[in-house]
Structure 1
Amino acid sequence: MAMVDSLPVIDGHNDTLLRLYEASLRQAQVGQDFFVESTEGHIDLPRARRGGLAGGFFAIFPRHPQHAQLLKEHLHISDGAYEVRPLPAVDPIYAQQLTLAVAASLFQLESASQGQIKVVRSVAELRHCLQEGILAIILHFEGAEAIDPHLDALEVFYQAGLRSLGPVWSRPNVFGHGVPFRFPHTPDVGPGLTQAGKDLVRACNRLGVMLDLAHLNEQGFWDVARLSQAPLVSTHSAVHALCPSSRNLTDRQLDAIRASGGIVGLNFDVADLREDAYYDPNTPLSVMIRHLDYLVERLGIDGVGFGSDFDGGITVAQEIQDVAGLPRLLAVLREHGYDESSLRKLTHQNWLRILDQTWRPQG
């Protein structure tokens, strides 16, 4: 897989697997759209090749069966502010069934790819994929509803390839409380991790599963910061000081991530980047660069990566549009003054460092 400008990109978060799974329910062949360039969604294999996407964290998100309807019903907008009232928890049995189905479709996709994609379970496998031009898929759970409180399922999913986990999405579950969608608001909303959530953190440390803090509320963030022995990671977030969304990270949280040697993957969703939180696809890339500059200043160049939220975020800037637009982002960063050494870190080296420090070596 040819890489644009010789800079392979590892992306911190996308929701492509769920989009492909839902499409497969309407088609005879699992994931067939992934191998053909399309205008649907943000990622397919041809566009990934053109954009230089070398790998990424591909999420399984067990969303509620009435997800879109619930978001619409719970959304309240007034005077430049919005709030999504607390969303209900998802039935764990349903969540586990959906997670198994999406995971199975991923492994079928890998088999059908004839070696073009690989689910990676070690940093050595990830580096090999980058060298050989194979699209590397890191299996991520966005919300741990598929895992039981005794963590038996965690052991099984780890053996199947799970290497990254967000304990919650923006709703409650047995492990903790996700941060609700509010603007303007801080992420300090509700209680933190439950005892089961604290046990989950320790088990992920033991197994070498990366913990993702992107949808945790602030109390949960600090619970993980106190408990975890691994670098703190938020795979797809932005800066609260620049866009006061509850989903964004405060300066104090950013300082804690830096102190742990962690990383933030910059979210591409313009509503979490703009000062007014508008869903405007004509948002200039300068707005994204402002967040990136702030993160680099606060975390250092070693603590920042990309976390697009492709196929999950509602609105991506038109200048990028989809994964094939990544070279445009890199060109703008060069024009802005980022040198090649810095761009290598932002595109892939920083994610490799974090995984080197988090995953267990595989024999």
Structure 2
Amino acid sequence: MSIFFDGHNDSFVKCYPPRHLRTVPINKHAFVHGYPQAHIDLPRALEAGYLGALCAIFIDPPLGEESTCLQAHNREVPEGRQPDLEPPLDHQVALTATLEVMSHIFQDERITDGFKVVRSYKELTDTMSRQKLAVVIHLEGCEAIDVNLEALETLYQAGVRSLGICWSRPNIFGTGVPFAYKVHPNTGPGLTATGLALVKRCQELGIMLDAAHINAQGFFDLAAASERPLVVSHSSAFTLCPASRGLTDEQLATVAEHQGLVGVTMHVPDLIGPRGQELAYIPSAEKLYTNFKQCRRGISNRHQQENSRTELEAVIAHIVYIGKQIGFDHVALGSDFDGCLIPDQIKDVTDLNLISDGLRQAGLTEKELEKVLYKNWLRVLKASWL
């Protein structure tokens, strides 16, 4: 059975939505005992060989102020108009909700030996070697952190070891990239002075920084300011599908230059376009692997017809494209389970073997496959943590 390390899931928030978002009571210890409504829970994770993950804490605005982006997700924006960003999230709402979700994680950890919140590379590898789930607490957007970075110190001591500077909205640290289709990720200003201070302090503490959801200028600002691997936890290749959250070839090259990685998302609109607007041409993963230069030429001719790729095949094609473009040391998994629209062929975490099987069929060697499935994540976490 393959081993998997996933760069992004929202499963704890799915199991334990913060109080300000609940319409019904939560099921206590749902993650531990099993929660069929989620893509991941502990029993299915261990069954699947899913032994490590960045487990995100993402906070939506209060009920009545809900995000609109998922209803209009990746729609094509009329020419000449900039796509709308989501509004900022209140710091106190974010901090309270973040602590609440973390409390549920720690309550679960106390009643099982099936997973551990890991705070060091040794804890990470020890936990995975025992066939247990290594949970890396990740903040998706830093709204819970104040301008003086005081909350950062507390959150670090509590176990946070990975931060996504922005989600797809502005905050005091930078500006996220809006959800849009056929829109370049270069959509606004970069990191603020407070954002650069956050980068510096995270590197001093040993917190990995994540450029997923940040706009292009913020991405390049982070690359210039950071001395650690440049990580994008869940994204895609803009060349294959022009979704605003995808990474251009220039961004991919920058990731490789900084010894980082890209976790490939399973969010369908970022892979083949919104359902109903799917791209006419995405090369098969096998062709990308064996004849990359020829396939790259074909990508520019979007009128070129080929048998349509399934949604699962598109995940594999994006992994292979990035691997061939910048090397298989720099691509991994970043599923976004429980936070996205996953391929029809994948019902939950127990179907991850379809990804590994597809990568083998595409031609990856066993060494390349191990890097993609988990070893690349271990490498960048080791280099990012103290």
TM-score (normalised: structure 2): 0.85
Contact 1:266 1:306 in 2 (8 A): yes
Pair 1:169–1:46, CA change in 2 (3 A) = same
Alpha-carbon distance between aligned partners in 2 of 1:129 and 1:153, rounded to the nearest angstrom: 28
1:248-301 CA deviation, whole Å, 9 max, x = no partner? 000100000000110000001111000x33278x93422122111111012211
Pair 1:74–1:308, CA change in 2 (3 A) = closer
Percent identity for Structure 1 against Structure 2: 41
1:145 maps to what in 2?
143
Structure 1 range deviating more: 290-299 or 265-274: 290-299
Greater percentage in strand: 1
Q: Which secondary structure does the structure 2 equivalent of 1:40 belong to?
A: coil
Size of the alignment, in residue pairs?
350
Q: CA deviation at 1:38?
A: 4.3
Alpha-carbon distance between aligned partners in 2 of 1:358 and 1:101, rounded to the nearest angstrom: 26
RMSD: 2.3
Structure 1 range deviating more: 193-202 or 332-341: 332-341
Q: Which secondary structure does the structure 1 equivalent of 2:212 belong to?
A: coil
Alpha-carbon distance between aligned partners in 1 of 2:218 and 2:333, rounded to the nearest angstrom: 23
2:359 to 303, 324, 333: 333
Give yes or no for the alignment of 1:59 onto 2:53: no
Q: CA deviation at 1:178?
A: 0.5
Contact 1:241 1:251 in 2 (8 A): yes
Q: How does 1:117-266 map to 2 (within 5 A)?
A: 117-266=115-264
Contact 1:233 1:263 in 2 (8 A): yes
Structure 1 range deviating more: 350-359 or 37-46: 37-46
**Structure 2 stretches lacking a partner, 5+ long:** 279-308
Q: How does 1:34-113 map to 2 (within 5 A)?
A: 34-66=31-63, 68=66, 70-71=68-69, 77=75, 85-113=84-112
2:332 to 305, 310, 330: 305
1:350 maps to what in 2?
376
Structure 1 range deviating more: 201-210 or 33-42: 33-42
Alpha-carbon distance between aligned partners in 2 of 1:183 and 1:359, rounded to the nearest angstrom: 35
2:350 to 314, 324, 330: 324
Alpha-carbon distance between aligned partners in 2 of 1:180 and 1:292, rounded to the nearest angstrom: 23
Alpha-carbon distance between aligned partners in 1 of 2:337 and 2:142, rounded to the nearest angstrom: 20
Structure 1 range deviating more: 194-203 or 38-47: 38-47
What residue identity is the alignment partner of 1:266?
Answer: V
Pair 1:305–1:253, CA change in 2 (3 A) = same
Contact 2:73 2:179 in 1 (8 A): no
Structure 1 range deviating more: 318-327 or 184-193: 318-327
TM-score (normalised: structure 1): 0.91
Contact 1:83 1:181 in 2 (8 A): no
Structure 1 range deviating more: 195-204 or 63-72: 63-72
What residue identity is the alignment partner of 1:106?
Answer: I
Q: Which secondary structure does the structure 1 equivalent of 2:151 belong to?
A: helix
Alpha-carbon distance between aligned partners in 2 of 1:331 and 1:76, rounded to the nearest angstrom: 29
Give yes or no for the alignment of 1:21 onto 2:16: yes
Contact 1:14 1:308 in 2 (8 A): yes
